[in-house]
Amino acid sequence: MSGFSEDMPFFDEPNARPAAAPSGIAARAMAARSGQNSAHDYLKGLNPEQRLAVETTEGPVLVLAGAGTGKTRVLTTRIAHILATGRAFPSQILAVTFTNKAAREMKQRIGHLIGEGNVEGMPWLGTFHSIGVKLLRRHAELAGLKSDFTILDTDDVVRLIKQLIQAEGLDDKRWPAKTFAQMLDNWKNKGLGPDEIPEGDARSFGNGKGRQLYKAYQERLQTLNSCDFGDLLYHPIRIFRAYPDVLKEYHRKFKYILVDEYQDTNTAQYMWLRLLAQRPNVRAASAEGRKPDRASAGQAAPAEASERSERAAVSENKVNICCVGDDDQSIYGWRGAEVDNILRFDKDFPGATIIRLERNYRSTAHILGAASHLIAHNEGRFGKTLFTDRDDPEDDKVHVHASWDSEEEARAIGDAIEAYQRQKHNLNDMAILVRASFQMRAFEDRFITLGLSYRVIGGPRFYERLEIRDALAFFRVVANGGDDLAFERIVNVPKRGLGEATIRQIHDTARAMRVPMLEAAATLAESDELKPKPRAALREVAANFERWQKALETTPHTELAETILEESGYTDMWKNDRSADSPGRLENLKELIRSMEEYESLRSFLEHVALVMEAEQGESLDAVSIMTLHSAKGLEFETVFLPGWEEGLFPHQRALDEGGRSGLEEERRLAYVGLTRAKKNLHIWFVSNRLIHGLWQSTIPSRFLDELPETHVDVADGGNSYGGYGNPYGGGAFASGRGGGRQNPYGASRFDNIGAKDQGSFSNTYATPGWQRAQANRTEATDRNWGTRSGHQVERIGYGETDSGYGAGRTSVKGRTIEGELVAKSVADTPSAFNVGDRVFHQKFGNGNIAAIDGNKLTIDFDKAGQKRVLDGFVAPV
DNA sequence: TTGGAGAACCTTTTT
DNA sequence: GGTTCTCCAA
């Protein structure tokens, strides 16, 4: 990697004329004799497929790259190759990634190649959204915006929609703004404007006012000079369509397009790419340009004039698009990603070269075997077979462990990490990958007690913290006086006695005068329409912003930011606040100012925040990483822990409810992503009890455990204090899970074993009457439900409804689906055996007295643990 | 207008 | 269990 830069003499002359870059025939000729390029160091060490992917620079290419097959390396090497062979200048390359992390990594690697700070010489590299911003800033006026528009985050969007819903006279309880925000996002992800959304969608919200609201929303965004995330894709698409000459400009500019994680592109991103990549044949191009209807496409006229030149260009302008992806790692379907995009690539780009990378360099044969076997349960895939030459008998199998509950799970994983640490493993090489972020806390708690350093990636977002959002709102108003949403957020922060009534008045004045709220406030402050108190307060606010806005031109932005927080009284507000978290908040504010230093201006900083919503973390410290499976994609670790493999959590209940079969398959791909993150050691955990919505609920091991191949898996035989509960499968249960219809994972043998096997010191407590009853109910209930599955029947249990198809062992009660409610139901069918005042024992909390009974839910005053609500199946009379 | 108390909601994943 | 929302008293 390090030797690259020497191969690239042209970087010494970044201003050389583009004509020097060969294109068309010359390029093809060069490609044809690419064999000679072996002189380039960077091609060494590539396997034949990788090399093909790097060297097939002309025409459309799809690289199907399985996990750990060197995908990123191929992409960066490909860029290096294009540059080194003089096929294009950096600025003629467009490289799109899906996450900021990936963009950062690629930028780093390429930065190495072409020298840091060579901004002019960098390719257009970034996420779809960040490139969308770049495009939109250039052509903002074509979307009815000014180029200094603000990007709203989800929170702003929801507040804005709420206002609109209320303005329509709709009940914002019945029609939650959040729901509509999601609908909007879906539409935009499909590239649909207000007039293009399906009638059914339009009618389904707000008494049929869906379309109307969408329109009102877009208008409002325009007056606010703002756009939302979806617009960053949606506006460029519309501009490209309505203004062919703009599109042509980019056709000329970008010679090579590279796309990472192609399987995760949604429809809008796909349209965007196609517009950029697919130079239509001349006839199609001019036809599109002539279409009269496309918005106010007044500037389409030059289309005809340039037709001839385009015809000439077309023969040279081949579509040099290269998409890299793995259909087995498509995990963003819930966000509108279309796996289809990758599956039909060769139809979209005829004559595409498809290259498969199947040689895995990352994981042991056991890990690979487990992952491949699991993912084979999915249908509708390209089908790749990952292989490795690695065959080391010393390699560990994949370990499956059981714990009693999430606390025990955290403790066990903590112990395991410390054990690895004693064997001289770095914490940096270990990661815990969870399905849902709430799982993280148990680990954080435990690690704090242990004094084990950890880092949470993508956890509670830095920029989403209250104090940060407040501070940013101040900055936003200074940067863009038209940002009403930000203004509203902080006009009364710190408290100035500007309540709802005053804000409403500012709002109305702004509407009437057709000016931003800040301006309206300034006017109002000078009028006599307000009472003296709010008037004085408002006058101060307006004067402050006026002063700061002036200072924006002259003062360095970090200094200004500090001044703003001081003069507004915001820092004082927290200094006077005596709650426990105020020092932390002040610290965060300092951190915020510090992080601004890296940016040129307040505006560029704000843009970064809006797009990234993530503070860079110091990588220097040795720490265990904790993150969600989603954010782990693209990473690798020597040792990986995968906790929480239980039905309802993983696969997640909602994915099953909303996605049905495809939802399950996506969850399985997520599991696959998790498994393939590990290089050497892989530990999967599941627990029997989990605290969900404040209730302890019993859980069933994930079906994915059943889908792991026995030969590569080692089920830990309960090395922990809860002994016999360790092996969920009893004897040979792995075999029972596969082939033909699924069976009850709780084979009868399992419960027969209880008591027979050595249960460790807890066996006695398990044998209490309450425990036995709970087990009996559980076995019966699960058997009943599982039994129905083979016949594809749905059976009603109690008053809950079982979900159809794939949902198993779960019952939805009162509209809500609660894991483990099944147990409760059966117990509740028989009158509760408990009375208020009874003394009971709970496995986790010890002895206590029942304070209240609500159906099957008991409120118990525990001697040690205090008052808790638990299901009656989990306590036994003393 | 503010702040406290209680109710209601929630919990998948992210640009 | 935790957070946000709503209502009500000062």
**How confident is the model over A537-548, as pLDDT tens digits?**
889 999 999 999
CA angle A834, A786, A758 (to 5 degrees): 65
Torsion over CA of A413, A418, A422 and A428, rounded to 10 degrees?
90
Say if residue A859 carries a ligand binding annotation. Answer: no
**Residue A872 — pLDDT band, cuts 50, 70, 90?**
low
In a 13 Å sphere around the CA of A610, the CA atoms on its Cβ side amount to 27
Nearest CA-CA partner of A605 in A526, A552, A658, A645: A552
φ/ψ (deg, to 5) at A62: -115, 120
**Residue A775 — pLDDT band, cuts 50, 70, 90?**
very low
CA atom of A816 to C1′ atom of B4, Å: 31
Residue A868 CB closer than 7 angstroms to strand C? Answer: yes
Nucleotides in chain B with any atom closer than 7 Å to protein CB: 1-3, 10-15
For residues A235 and A222, give the distance between their C-alpha atoms in angstroms, rounded to a whole number. Answer: 12
Identity (one letter) of the amino acid at A772? Q
pLDDT one-digit tens code per residue, A335-359 = 888 888 888 888 888 889 999 999 9
Helices (H), A244-390: 244-253, 267-277, 282-290, 302-305, 307-316, 339-343, 345-348, 365-375
The kind and range of the H/E element at A595 are helix A582-596
Tokens of A408: 């025990």
For residues A104 and A724, give the distance between their C-alpha atoms in angstroms, rounded to a whole number. Answer: 47
Q: Considering chain A, what is the average pLDDT of its residues?
A: 74
For residues A271 and A285, give the distance between their C-alpha atoms in angstroms, rounded to a whole number. Answer: 15
CA angle A762, A767, A769 (to 5 degrees): 135
Residue A618: predicted pLDDT: 56
Residue A406 CB closer than 7 angstroms to strand B? Answer: no
**Paired residues of A867 in beta bridges:** A861
Q: Is A700 within 8 Å of A649 (Cβ atoms)?
A: no
User: Residue A501: left (phi > 0), alpha (psi -120 to 50), or beta?
Assistant: alpha
For residues A515 and A530, give the distance between their C-alpha atoms in angstroms, rounded to a whole number. Answer: 19
Q: Scanning the structure block, which residue is given the tokens 């029942």?
A: A850
Helix (H), strand (E) counts: chain A: 37, 24
Residue nearest to nucleotide B14 (CA to C1'): A335
CA distance from start to end of chain A: 69
> In angstroms, what is the C-alpha Rg of chain A?
30
Q: Would you say residue A247 has pLDDT above 80?
A: yes
CA atom of A165 to C1′ atom of C6, Å: 19
Cis peptide before A280 (omega within 30 of 0): no
Q: Is A809 within 8 Å of A824 (Cβ atoms)?
A: no
Annotate A59-85 with b (16+ C-beta within 10 A) or e (fewer): bbbbbbbbbbbbbbbbbbbbbbbbbbb
Worst-scoring range by mean pLDDT, A167-171, A210-214, A367-371? A167-171
Q: Scanning the structure block, which residue is given the tokens 């390699």?
A: A395
Residue A414: predicted pLDDT: 94
Residue A694 CB closer than 7 angstroms to strand C? Answer: yes
Between helix A177-189 and helix A154-167 the angle, nearest 10°, is 110
Q: What positions of A carry a catalytic annotation?
A: 71-72, 260-261, 329, 677
Q: Would you say residue A795 has pLDDT above 60?
A: no
Say if residue A798 carries a ligand binding annotation. Answer: no
Nearest CA-CA partner of A824 in A807, A811, A808: A811
pLDDT one-digit tens code per residue, A253-296 = 999 999 999 999 999 999 999 999 877 554 333 333 333 333 33
pLDDT one-digit tens code per residue, A695-711 = 788 888 999 999 999 99
Q: Would you say residue A229 has pLDDT above 80?
A: yes
Residue nearest to nucleotide B13 (CA to C1'): A630
Q: Scanning the structure block, which residue is given the tokens 């009693």?
A: A404
Annotate A529-543 with b (16+ C-beta within 10 A) or e (fewer): ebeeebbebbbebbe
For residues A367 and A551, give the distance between their C-alpha atoms in angstroms, rounded to a whole number. Answer: 58
Tell me the nt nearest to A655, Cα to C1'. Answer: B12
Residue A95: predicted pLDDT: 94
Q: Would you say residue A394 has pLDDT above 70?
A: yes
Residue A128 CB closer than 7 angstroms to strand B? Answer: yes
CA atom of A545 to C1′ atom of B12, Å: 40
For residues A824 and A857, give the distance between their C-alpha atoms in angstroms, rounded to a whole number. Answer: 8
Tell me the nt nearest to A867, Cα to C1'. Answer: C1
Quickly count: other Cβ atoms within 10 Å of residue A223's Cβ: 15
Q: Is A39 within 8 Å of A299 (Cβ atoms)?
A: no
Residue A438 CB closer than 7 angstroms to strand B? Answer: yes
Nucleotides in chain C with any atom closer than 7 Å to protein CB: 1-2, 6
> Helix, strand or coil for residue A269?
helix
CA atom of A675 to C1′ atom of B12, Å: 19
CA atom of A421 to C1′ atom of B2, Å: 53
Q: Is A870 within 8 Å of A850 (Cβ atoms)?
A: no
Tokens of A474: 């101040």
Residue A830: predicted pLDDT: 34
Q: Would you say residue A297 has pLDDT above 50?
A: no
For residues A256 and A251, give the distance between their C-alpha atoms in angstroms, rounded to a whole number. Answer: 10
Range picked from A34-48, A82-96, A669-683 for highest mean pLDDT:
A669-683
